[in-house]
């Protein structure tokens, strides 16, 4: 089966970083689905992961905060 929505280079970077931090597959799948809505959110989360190496809980908290404030995520 072909992947109809291939990941962008930025999404591949997010995937790589989440795998390096050993996030669960469920979180990875959900986060990528959410982050596809906003390139700005992708940038912010990548920078956050590179700088802070957050736990899954901290990652989810940051993602929720972005979703609450990013107009592209509120559609």
Q: Position of tokens 């992708």?
A: 42
The rounded distance, in Å, linking the Cα atoms of 75 and 38 is: 11
Count other Cβ atoms within 10 Å, centred on residue 69. 10
Q: Is residue 5 assigned to a domain?
A: no
Domain extent at residue 34 = 10-70
pTM for this structure? Answer: 0.86
Q: Look at residue 1 and tell me if it is in a domain.
A: no
Better-scored residue on pLDDT, 45 or 71: 45
Q: What percent of the chain has pLDDT over 90?
A: 84
Neighbours of 60 (CB within 10 A): 15
How many structural domains are present in the chain? 1
Q: Which pLDDT does position 75 carry in this prediction?
A: 59
Give the pLDDT band of residue 2 (cuts 50, 70, 90). very low
Whole-number Å distance between alpha carbons of 9 and 27: 19
Burial of 15 (0-12, 13-18, 19+ CB in 10 A): middle
């Amino acid at each position: 089966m072909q992947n109809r929505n291939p990941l962008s280079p930025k999404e591949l970077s997010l995937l790589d970083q989440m795998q390096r931090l050993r996030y669960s597959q469920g979180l990875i799948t959900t986060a990528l689905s959410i982050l596809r809505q906003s390139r700005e959110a992708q940038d912010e989360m990548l920078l956050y992961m590179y700088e802070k190496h957050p736990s899954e809980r901290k990652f989810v908290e940051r993602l929720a905060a972005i979703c609450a404030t990013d107009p592209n995520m509120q559609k």
